[in-house]
Amino acid sequence: MADIGKYLKLTGLMMKNCLVREMQFKANFLVRLFTESMWLVMQFIYISVMYGQTGQIAGWTIWEMVVLAGTNHVIAQLFEALFYDNCMRLIDQIRQGDLDFNLIKPVNTQFLVSLRYTDYASIVNSSIGVGIILFALGKLGIGITFGGVVLFAALVANSILIYYSILFILSVWTFWIGRSNNLMELYWQFGQFSRYPGEIYPWLLRRLLQTLIPMLIVSNVPAGLLIHKLQTGLIFYGFALGIVFLVLTAWIWQRGLQRYRSASS
């Protein structure tokens, strides 16, 4: 139990350290807010053009689609805030032998390398997503309950962990293949699949996106909960999947470490 306290304290310290650094570049927040909003505007143009042609896409109305886009934005931004940079740095650390500095510290190394840096601008950005969700829910006339919010938050956290697991596993491949920057591209390409309703995909592809590459679980389940378009079973399945993926990261990380060759000297 003392361990959990120690790790929580450590997380707090690392986040505080990053906040201090970030505060030196306050304008950066505004710039990032602006650029991410541009992305969202593009997405909404796309959505509105499609819905200009038909009232429903695979049974989803436009505001339901907007809830999905907002949810996806919140999850992607929070994931990028906590883990994206760290996974990128991990690749270089493995390749250049810089992992040594982390290995000698008396804490779990996977914890340390995964959470070392926090990108606060992305956290600020995720709030736009929350605004979009609330606005779209208002348009749909759907109210929110306290229990619903808690469950939604838990599902979002679970989705972030699944995202993290996928990217972490991709990064850790560096132990085997020496350079995996290109694999990172996969993260952005996979991300495509989470933007739209699972109903558009044919059976086989849909099952694939719910199991091996669970991009549909990541976005569709939390969004589905909000707009009452979800089978309860999927909630349990989602959490179970999150746990499986997380355990998998720890296992692969240990296997990978055995192949670590340290610095080139």
C-beta of residue 114 within 8 angstroms of C-beta of residue 168: yes
193 lines the binding site for another protein (CB under 8 A): yes
| Nearest CB to another protein, comparing residues 42 and 240 | 42
Q: How many Cα neighbours within 13 Å face the side chain of 261?
A: 9
For residue 255, the minimal CB distance to another protein (Å) is 23
Binding of another protein by 189 (CB under 8 A): yes
Under the binding rule (CB under 8 A), the answer on residue 164 touching another protein is no
* From candidates 8, 19, 42, 107, binder to another protein by CB under 8 A: 42
Nearer to another protein, 214 or 242 (CB): 214
Of 197 and 222, CB closest to another protein? 197
Rounded Cα distance between 195 and 199, Å, is 12
Of 1, 4, 20, 53, the one binding another protein by CB under 8 A: 53
Number of C-beta neighbours around residue 252 at 10 A: 18
Does position 207 bind another protein by CB under 8 A? no
Q: State the burial class of residue 32 (Cβ atoms within 10 Å of its Cβ: 0-12, 13-18, 19+).
A: middle
Would you say 8 or 50 has its CB closer to another protein? 50
> Counting contacts by CB under 8 A, is residue 29 touching another protein?
no
229 lies in the binding site for another protein (CB under 8 A)? no
Least gap, CB of 125 to another protein (angstroms): 14
The verdict on 231 binding another protein (CB under 8 A) reads no
Q: Is 37 in the site for another protein (CB under 8 A)?
A: no
Examine residue 31 and tell whether it contacts another protein (CB under 8 A). Answer: yes
Q: Report whether 48 contacts 62 (CB < 8 A).
A: yes
The yes or no reply on residue 88 touching another protein (CB under 8 A) is no
Residues that bind another protein (CB under 8 A): 31, 34-35, 38-39, 42, 45-46, 49-50, 53-58, 182-183, 185-186, 189-190, 192-193, 195-196, 199-202, 205
